[in-house]
């Protein structure tokens, strides 16, 4: 009898331990598996994860405005000023030039007592020819009073032959040439003549180097 009682007591103790452990496990599970609402009611804040720094930097870079260069602004201002000036010039030209057609002059009025040549003496073209001739001929020449007379005559003849090719018919040519030493003093040369200002003409050129100067005057007189 005593042995049976002892075995019953041992079995009861084992059952009580098992139930105690089960109840403890249930309490722990209940405490672990509490809903999120209980945490909020207890005053635990809802903490959000901080944003990624790399993503914020990318957003800042996208939102930043593009840089403005000073050269670009100056170029735009210059372009605007040039455009305004062009428009103003066009308006002025339109306002100045009338829409009327030019009146052609059929016959040029010839003064009384003047000759009327078919072609005029081309003094502009002749002046360029004489200037080029003097530059090529006297570039490396030094002044010598003993040979200056022969040099003057030779230059006059060469200039008359050259101008004769471009002068219209019935024009007589007179060439006046002066050569002198180039010093510290200034020289002024002048000429005076009586002629027909409508048909006659004149051209003059000068050249100088380190040692000498040369002045050429060519008169073209029309003879009927």
173, 220 contact by CB (below 8 A): yes
E-strand stretches of 149-211: 171-181, 201-208
176, 214 contact by CB (below 8 A): no
pLDDT tens track of the chain, all 224 residues?
555 565 555 555 444 444 444 444 444 444 444 444 444 444 444 545 555 554 555 455 455 556 677 777 788 888 888 888 888 887 777 666 556 666 665 556 777 778 888 888 998 999 999 999 999 999 999 999 999 999 999 999 999 999 999 999 999 999 999 999 988 778 888 888 888 888 999 999 999 998 999 999 999 999 87
pLDDT of res. 117: 87
pLDDT of res. 194: 84
pLDDT of res. 134: 94
Can you identify the CATH homologous superfamily of domain 123-222?
Answer: Tctex-1 (3.30.1140.40)
220, 201 contact by CB (below 8 A): yes
Query: How many Cα atoms occupy the beta-carbon half-sphere of 173 within 13 Å?
Result: 25
* CA 224 vs CA 108, 115, 116, 141: distances in Å: 19, 7, 9, 41
In angstroms, the first-to-last Cα distance of the chain is 183
Give the C-alpha separation, 210 to 141, whole Å.
9
92: phi then psi, degrees, rounded to nearest 5: -65, -45
List CB contacts of 203: < 8 A, sequence separation 6 or more: 123, 124, 126, 127, 130, 217, 218, 220
Domain boundaries, the chain: 123-222
Place of tokens 């000023």: 81
pLDDT of res. 185: 75
């Amino acid at each position: 009898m005593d042995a049976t009682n002892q075995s019953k007591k041992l079995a009861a103790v084992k059952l009580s331990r098992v139930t105690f452990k089960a109840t403890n496990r249930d309490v722990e599970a209940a405490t672990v598996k509490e809903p999120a609402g209980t945490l909020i009611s207890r005053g635990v804040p809802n903490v959000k994860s901080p944003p990624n720094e790399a993503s914020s930097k990318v957003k800042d870079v996208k939102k930043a405005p593009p840089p403005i260069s000073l050269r670009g602004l100056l170029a735009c201002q210059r372009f605007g000023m040039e455009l305004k000036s062009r428009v103003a010039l066009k308006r002025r030209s339109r306002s100045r030039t009338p829409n009327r057609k030019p009146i052609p002059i059929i016959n040029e009025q010839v003064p009384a007592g003047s000759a009327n040549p078919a072609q005029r003496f081309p003094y502009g073209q002749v002046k360029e020819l004489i200037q080029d001739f003097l530059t090529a001929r006297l570039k490396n020449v030094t002044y010598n009073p003993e040979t200056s007379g022969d040099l003057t005559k030779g230059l006059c003849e060469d200039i008359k032959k050259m101008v004769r090719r471009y002068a219209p018919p019935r024009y007589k040519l007179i060439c006046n040439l002066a050569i002198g030493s180039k010093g510290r003093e200034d020289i002024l040369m002048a000429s005076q003549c009586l002629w027909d200002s409508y048909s006659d003409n004149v051209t003059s050129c000068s050249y100088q180097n380190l040692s000498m100067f040369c002045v050429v005057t060519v008169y073209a007189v029309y003879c009927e």
